[in-house]
Structure 1
Amino acid sequence: MMFKKHAFKFITFLVLLVVAIAGYLFYSLTIFSPVNIHFSSTPNLTYHPIKKQDELMCYQAEQPLPEITQKTFRLLVWNLHKGQDAGWQETLERFAQERDVLLLQEVLNTQELAAQYSSRFSTALYASAFAYLQQQSGVEILSQFAPHFYCAGAKSEPWIRIPKVGAAMSVPLAHGQALLLVNVHLINFEMYPTAYEEQLRTLMQLVAQHQGPLVLSGDFNSWSGYRMAIIRKLITEFGLVEVSFAQDHRLRFLGNPLDHVFVRGLNVLNATTEPTESSDHAPLLLEVELAD
């Protein structure tokens, strides 16, 4: 009888502890709806909101922008793992050398990358849909070129309700063309990927509407055959080509790589990855040129 009483007290204590922890997490978590967007450019340009597309928010430049005349572009795609691993600053600095665009995932607002790299990248687009203890996590694009429009959107994880975010910008090229850059961090915690496909299809609206060259990249959380099938179907539908890497150190789960780069209207001059202890994801480094 005494044992049952102590066991009941212990179970009650555990339940109250779990409820207290869950309550603390709930009240420490802030969900942004719509997605929280921070955009900066040098010189300071003016943008106005344009027609909303499903779960995307988009903004258009109010002034004409200079065309980009260069033909080749060097890109870095990397999940920073929220800066939890030692040496990420030095590693990012090394990988960012002579890059035209950085497409980053799991970036904290407290890392202040836009300010840190303002002398090297004139444009920064940061998008986040949640904050925990007032610390935001999201995706960021740092670019040497200002966009004539940019977009961002989010989709909530079905189980944990914490949103994942995607962002995009389109930069003007010569002869009225544009280069579209899409940076994704897709839903992770879902067994049958219904919301996963919805999030990806929403972002693919931008791809469908774009006529010129483009890069679709990021952390796709593509850890199952179902997810890979959805990705392959969509890239085939929209005429994209997957980039293969000469040295492939991408993070894998159940044998599937989680990070990808897809292109259209671009020739891949080189593409590689580097092993690192500064994140759980290896950085993807590539150089592309405009196709004739």
Structure 2
Amino acid sequence: MIQRGDATFGFFCWNIQKRSLSTEFQREFLHLLKLYPSSLIALQEVKISESCIPGHFQNFFHALSCNFVRNRHRFGVMTLSSLEFTVHTHFTTHVREAGIATKKSALLTRHTLDNGSTLALLNLHAINFVPHRLFVRELTRITELIGSVEESSLIVAGDFNTWSQKRQKSLEEMTRRFGLKRVVPENEKDIKSILGRPLDHIYYRGLKPESAQVIDTPVSDHNPIYARFSAG
């Protein structure tokens, strides 16, 4: 957590493979947060009941950007925070993924740190299983969302599905446009990759990364990335 007067905070990013309601995930989630205290948590592939929020999420301010509903459960990206949201903007792709016919979602939230500075967080799960031109089309819409951010401090993080050189290049063109840099963990090789290319990323601007690491866990097919930033 951010201590009063301290502008350093932990950030946790994890595609949890729809495991959020499993006992195994709940135990691991609480255990990891004890080891890696986090004021901001960006989760992708969250599954929750339509009727209630899981108890292990209730200690945080939270918001979900839902990309589909099935069997009385909602799915999407969720941001958890010890910092109350001032604004949250939901986003879903126009395009549906081939074969499974689902959209992907993103969530933009704005927070005030204890030192009074403000921070925007874009938590996203990029579209997959579509031709590159459609990936770029949806990335352009994300660009418009980032362009609406007035805060100088910004984190853009999640599962970008950058499994090809073309996808990664398109992403890098976007991040350069907004002055975003990528966090490079010491054990970057432990990030989930396809064809040797990592899928999960944390980008930032207006902040100083103090440390970053990938945490090996069997709970999901993705490993979480944990970073500590200083602001102000």
Aligned sequence identity (%): 25
Match of 2:29 in 1: 92
Q: Is the 8 A contact 1:145 1:171 kept in 2?
A: yes
Structure 1 residue corresponding to 2:79, chosen from 141, 150, 165: 141
**Structure 1 residues 92 and 174, CA, compared in 2 at 3 Å: closer, same or farther?**
closer
Candidates 107, 121, 132, aligned match of 1:181? 121
In the other structure, the counterpart of 1:128 is 66
How many correspondences in the alignment? 221
Letter of the aligned partner of 2:8 in structure 1?
T
SS at match of 1:215: strand
Residue 152 of structure 2 is aligned to residue 212 of structure 1: yes
Deviations 1:21-76 (A, max 9, x none): xxxxxxxxxxxxxxxxxxxxxxxxxxxxxxxxxxxxxxxxxxxxxxx854111011
With 102-111 and 192-201 compared, the bigger mean Cα shift is at 192-201
Aligned twin of 1:168: 108
Aligned to 2:12: 76
The answer (yes or no) to whether the contact 1:273–1:283 under 8 Å persists in 2 is yes
**Distance change >3 Å, CA 146–CA 117, structure 1 → 2:** same
- Alignment match, 1:116: 56
Q: How does 1:252-271 map to 2 (within 5 A)?
A: 252-271=193-212
**C-alpha distance after superposition, 1:270-290 (max 9, x if no partner):** 000011110000010110011
Give 2:216's aligned residue: 275
Q: Is the 8 A contact 1:221 1:258 kept in 2?
A: yes
- Cα shift at 1:116: 2.7
- Summarize the alignment of residues 206-245 of structure 1 with structure 2, pairs less than 5 Å apart: 206-209=145-148, 210-245=150-185
Change (3 A) 1:69 1:195: farther
The answer (yes or no) to whether the contact 1:158–1:195 under 8 Å persists in 2 is no
Are the structure 2 counterparts of residues 171 and 282 from structure 1 closer, same or farther at C-alpha, using a change threshold of 3 Å? same
TM-score by length of 1: 0.70
Q: Distance in 1 between matches of 2:176 and 2:213?
A: 23
Shift of 1:177: 4.4
Gaps of 5+ in 1: 1-67
Structure 2 unaligned regions, length at least 5 = none
C-alpha separation in 2, matches of 1:147 and 1:86: 28
In structure 2, the partner of 1:103 is 42
Q: What displacement does 1:223 show?
A: 0.6
